[in-house]
Structure 1
Amino acid sequence: MELPDQLPELSPAYPAPATGIKSWAEDDRPREKLMSKGRATLSDAELLAILIGSGTTRLTAVDVGKLMLQGVGNDLNALARESVKQLCRHPGIGPAKAITVVAALELGRRRKEADAPARATITCSRDIYNLMRPHLLDLPHEEFWVILLNRANVVMRKTAISRGGVAGTVADPKMIFKEALEQLASSIILVHNHPSGNRNPSGADIQLTKKLKEAGGFLDLPILDHLIFAEQGYYSFADEGIL
């Protein structure tokens, strides 16, 4: 049998066998790229590739993502309106992958519809006390918390660092600053409660505050206050001028 002089080209929708994503440079692989450069650097097709997980013998997961987008005119809203059955019409997409994409897009829709909760802004020690009342009021044991703030003194997160007994709890500086660095906080507020109702700081409280203040200075993470919470009031290191 004679072969034709020129072999027909493959359809653009089904390119030649793909080189696997694992053979790509690490910075180009969607998962690694998200880890090293951040989610905002990924294209829509690359984000879809992470959801899809794998491609076909001829298509990488990124190729599959591109074809999915092309099939809806590169409109994510149109993609979100497709059913599992409709998504399965795209090359390389079966029910399991289609369900994953539908679930992810539905989460995005719900997030968009949800009202973003107002975040508290700290302007004085009373704001700190009111913020922590739901967490520390009536506790029979000590807890140590950190409040992480952005540059506008808006609360980014409040986290319990340790829980102890009636007489005290251990606050590990490494855990405090690890949390702040991971969240890219601009400043920190320390809070712990005294179940006894005594608002005055102990010698250990004062020493710990000094230690954390010095460490925060090296890391450019200032400690704005250390509040001792009691049921009938509080003690603010900042208000007392000893921070």
Structure 2
Amino acid sequence: MENKQKLNIKDWAEEDRPREKMLLKGVAALSDAELLGILIGSGNKNETAVELAQRILHSASNNLNALGKFAIKDLIRNFNGIGEAKAITIAAAMELGKRRKLSEVMVQPQITSSDDVYHIFHPVLADLNHEEVWVLLLNRSNKVIKKMQVSKGGINGTVVDVRLIMKEAIDSLATAMILCHNHPSGNSNPSGNDNEITRNLKEAGRIMDIQLLDHIIISDGDFYSYLDEGEL
């Protein structure tokens, strides 16, 4: 009779390995056992990490709530290959899942006007003695996905790399963006360089179907909106 040789996870097809599968297809594509297998990292001499995870889940009737009630000592005692460190990792993951359910859903601010942008950035930019350029990345509902600084410069200006903005917008799955920067001089009127950056970012956004909704220039107590002024 031919001996059945155990396959290590490294022997699996790359798209079937849990870590590689997560990177390739996203975390939602993984089963509970595969996710648990990533947590425990390795199995025992007879089982891969995923096979051990399947057995652990089976003992909990394939119910994560039931698994969350397992004591650390029971995991160690009942499953070959689960030591203290792995048992603690499982317990910590179960606790994080429970706390996530109890956490309040983060409310994303929605942008409806240039005033909304001003109120977000005035506390950040108004008192600076140097220029900073920031961008808001928005979803289809004009809710903020991300707020990030893209450049920091001197009193008279700063350099903006449109490519970096577009890369971040694409990675964040944004559908729109708003540029914002300050004028330490107190004059909120746009410069020739401001106009050029606006044109370049608008064109890059048009190509990638990510609309530039506005460019706001903030000074102390005042602001200029390209959209409000009909310049966008």
Q: Which has the larger displacement, 34-43 or 102-111?
A: 102-111
**Cα deviation digits, residues 62-87 of structure 1 (max 9, x gap):** 10110110111111011112222122
Contact 1:199 1:230 in 2 (8 A): yes
> Do structure 1's residue 179 and structure 2's residue 168 form an aligned pair?
yes
2:94 and 2:185 map into 1 onto residues whose CA distance is 50
Structure whose alpha-carbon radius of gyration is higher: 1
Which amino acid in structure 2 is aligned with residue 146 of structure 1? V
**Unaligned 5+ runs, structure 1:** 1-5, 7-15
- The equivalences for 1:106-145 within 5 A come to 106-145=95-134
1:134 and 1:59 map into 2 onto residues whose CA distance is 56
Contact 1:67 1:91 in 2 (8 A): no
Which amino acid in structure 2 is aligned with residue 40 of structure 1? A
Match of 1:12 in 2: none
Match of 1:60 in 2: 48
Residue identity (%): 52
Match of 1:211 in 2: 200
**Unaligned 5+ runs, structure 2:** none
Match of 1:38 in 2: 26
* Residue in structure 1 matching 2:213, options 224, 227, 233: 224
> Do structure 1's residue 92 and structure 2's residue 91 form an aligned pair?
no
Q: Which has the larger displacement, 73-82 or 148-157?
A: 73-82
What is the DSSP-based 3-state SS (H/G/I as helix, E as strand, rest coil) of the residue aligned with 1:51?
A: helix
* Residue in structure 2 matching 1:81, options 63, 69, 80: 69
Match of 1:157 in 2: 146
> Do structure 1's residue 236 and structure 2's residue 225 form an aligned pair?
yes
How far the C-alpha of 1:112 sits from its partner, in A, is: 1.5
* Residue in structure 2 matching 1:189, options 169, 178, 184: 178
Q: Which has the larger displacement, 213-222 or 79-88?
A: 79-88
Contact 1:188 1:223 in 2 (8 A): yes
Poorly superposed stretches of 4+, deviation over 6 Å: none
Normalising to structure 1: TM-score of the pair? 0.90
Which amino acid in structure 2 is aligned with residue 29 of structure 1? R
2:130 and 2:55 map into 1 onto residues whose CA distance is 58
What is the DSSP-based 3-state SS (H/G/I as helix, E as strand, rest coil) of the residue aligned with 1:160?
A: strand
> Do structure 1's residue 72 and structure 2's residue 60 form an aligned pair?
yes
What is the DSSP-based 3-state SS (H/G/I as helix, E as strand, rest coil) of the residue aligned with 1:123?
A: coil
Which amino acid in structure 1 is aligned with residue 226 of structure 2? F
2:81 and 2:38 map into 1 onto residues whose CA distance is 14
**Cα deviation digits, residues 38-70 of structure 1 (max 9, x gap):** 111100000001111111121011101101101
How far the C-alpha of 1:18 sits from its partner, in A, is: 2.4
What is the DSSP-based 3-state SS (H/G/I as helix, E as strand, rest coil) of the residue aligned with 2:156?
A: coil
**Cα deviation digits, residues 114-164 of structure 1 (max 9, x gap):** 112211111110011112223223122211111010001111111111211
What is the DSSP-based 3-state SS (H/G/I as helix, E as strand, rest coil) of the residue aligned with 1:158?
A: strand
What is the DSSP-based 3-state SS (H/G/I as helix, E as strand, rest coil) of the residue aligned with 2:74?
A: helix
Contact 2:18 2:38 in 1 (8 A): yes
Contact 1:227 1:234 in 2 (8 A): yes
> Do structure 1's residue 170 and structure 2's residue 159 form an aligned pair?
yes
Which amino acid in structure 2 is aligned with residue 161 of structure 1? V
Contact 2:126 2:221 in 1 (8 A): no
Normalising to structure 2: TM-score of the pair? 0.94
Which amino acid in structure 2 is aligned with residue 209 of structure 1? T
Which amino acid in structure 1 is aligned with residue 117 of structure 2? I
2:125 and 2:227 map into 1 onto residues whose CA distance is 20
